[in-house]
Amino acid sequence: MRAPDTNDILLEVERVVLSFGGVKALRDVSFNIRKGEIRAIIGPNGAGKTSMLNVINGFYRPNHGAITFKGRTRAKMQPFEAARGGIARTFQNVALFKGMSALDNIMAGRTLKVRRGLLWQVLRLGPALAEEVEHRRKVEEIIDFLEIETIRKVPVGRLPYGLQKRVELGRALAMEPDLLLLDEPMAGMNLEEKEDMSRFIIDVNNHYGTTIALIEHDMAVVMDLSDRVAVLDHGVKIADGTPDEVKRSQVVIDAYLGVAH
């Protein structure tokens, strides 16, 4: 069993406030993610989980608060800068490049690692070709790992949902991220697909040592996979701790089941 060997903080979210007009999506949320752990963010619908991920990778700019990633604090950031910093992400509703094959989608994930510029790529000779082959080799490792060898040349638009989710995970892995944000990786999957996906998440964490933050509604999965769980409700963090602690917390039970007033 893997355990985060250090208490190194990879990402620190401090007192983040995010509002859209009068709607407060996040109110004063603070939490941290330790290096090497699997961190779950749960909460009822509309609790602000996806907004939290969007703030972390620069998609939304928080109204207040600070985010410290790898020791560097920043207020605003463009999404591609977050990517450059080592944050990868998958989406709740798959966001693949529909016209491209599974292989090209994952190859596109290598963009930040490409060193040769336009003029070399035009010629596609010598170092440029060698680099392309090297990226292909890395991508094939990921394809092997995710067991999608047979579909590598199929346009992703033609793939079933479960496989699309896997290709999307592959694209995120191709970036060799330090922090991987998974937004409901198991939404809409059957039991078997969920088991596969859980296995991949644990393997990514073990094998590549990637820190993972995931949003998920399937409590069994969350409790089995994660090291620590943060619970959001109406934009407020109501609980934070190990799965066991969270499971026993009365506030969390109330948030999920509702309380009589």
Partner 1 sequence: MLYREAGQFKTTYAEDMAIFPIRQDRIALAILVGIAFIGVPLLATFHVWPFGSDYLLWAILLPFLILALAAIGTNILVGYCGQISLGSGAFMAIGAYSAYKLATGVHIPLASLGFAIAIPPLPVLASILLGGLMSAGVGILFGIPSLRIKGLYLAVATLAAQFFFDWAFLRLPWFTNYAPSGSVNAPELDFFGVVVRTPVERYLLCLLFVTVLAVLAKNLVRGNLGRQWMAIRDMDIAAELIGIRPLYAKLTAFAVSSFIIGVAGALWGFVYLGSWEPLAFSIERSLDLLFMVIIGGLGSIMGSFIGAAFILIVPILLNVLPTELGLPLSTQTITHLQFIIFGSLICYLLIKEPHGFARLISIGKEKLRLWPFPY
Contacts to partner 1 by CB under 8 A: 57, 59, 78-80, 82-84, 88-89, 91, 95-100, 104, 107-112, 114, 118, 121-124, 128-129, 132-133, 135-137, 140, 171-172, 175
Burial 235-260 (b: 16+ CB within 10 A, else e): bbbbbbeebeebeebeebeebeeeee
Gap between the Cα atoms of 184 and 182, Å rounded: 6
Least distance in angstroms from the C-beta of 100 to partner 1: 5
Polymer length of the chain: 261
Least distance in angstroms from the C-beta of 84 to partner 1: 6
Gap between the Cα atoms of 156 and 133, Å rounded: 22
Do the beta carbons of residue 7 and residue 34 sit within 8 Å? yes
Do the beta carbons of residue 232 and residue 48 sit within 8 Å? yes
Do the beta carbons of residue 146 and residue 200 sit within 8 Å? yes
Nearest to partner 1 of 39, 89 (CB atom): 89
- In order of 20, 36, 177, 209, 247, the CA distances from 5 in angstroms are 39, 8, 19, 11, 24
Give the pair of three-digit tokens for residue 34: 């330790």
Least distance in angstroms from the C-beta of 205 to partner 1: 20
Nearest to partner 1 of 80, 161 (CB atom): 80
Nearest to partner 1 of 11, 221 (CB atom): 11
Do the beta carbons of residue 90 and residue 185 sit within 8 Å? yes
Least distance in angstroms from the C-beta of 210 to partner 1: 15
Nearest to partner 1 of 90, 198 (CB atom): 90
Nearest to partner 1 of 54, 198 (CB atom): 54
The shares of helix, strand and coil residues in the chain, as percent rounded to the nearest 5, are: 45, 25, 30
Gap between the Cα atoms of 152 and 217, Å rounded: 30
Least distance in angstroms from the C-beta of 238 to partner 1: 29
Least distance in angstroms from the C-beta of 104 to partner 1: 6
Nearest to partner 1 of 140, 196 (CB atom): 140
